[in-house]
Amino acid sequence: SAVISQKPSRDICQRGTSLTIQCQVDSQVTMMFWYRQQPGQSLTLIATANQGSEATYESGFVIDKFPISRPNLTFSTLTVSNMSPEDSSIYLCSVDPGGRGELFFGEGSRLTVL
């Protein structure tokens, strides 16, 4: 298992601004995953963050909108840039510490854009 801390837990932001979400894991992991969960919806993978290389983005998500940093094996950030109300979602960080494909999630960052 893994203990994952995310900050902020929630925020209310103005349209056009950017917000950076932090994810800290209590153990070293190769990959960190960023998911979006829109209200009442399922989980959609935004990107996979590897230490020492650029993140891999899924279809429909681009680096300019969701820049990701992965400075070391226990930490990552996701920035939501130039926000609009459509970006209002829960953003979740997750890891697979055992390498068996079993994901552990952070508590999530609930973002509301006005």
Partner 1 sequence: GQQVMQIPQYQHVQEGEDFTTYCNSSTTLSNIQWYKQRPGGHPVFLIQLVKSGEVKKQKRLTFQFGEAKKNSSLHITATQTTDVGTYFCAGRGNQGGKLIFGQGTELSVKP
When the beta carbons of 6 and 77 are compared against partner 1, the nearer one is 6
CA distance 31 to 94: 9
Q: Which stretch binds partner 1 (CB under 8 A): 20-28, 43-51, 61-69, 71-79?
A: 43-51
Query: Exactly one of 76, 78, 108, 111 binds partner 1 (CB under 8 A); which one?
Result: 108
Residue for token pair 């190769």: 30
Nearest partner of 21 among 39, 3, 38, 36, judged by Cα: 36
- Nearest approach in angstroms of CB 104 to partner 1 is 7
CB-based contact 25:75 (threshold 8 Å): yes
Other CB atoms within 10 Å distance of the CB of residue 69: 14
Task: Check binding of 57 to partner 1 (CB under 8 A).
Answer: no
Task: Check binding of 105 to partner 1 (CB under 8 A).
Answer: yes
Q: Which residues bind partner 1 (CB under 8 A)?
A: 41-45, 48, 58, 92, 100-108
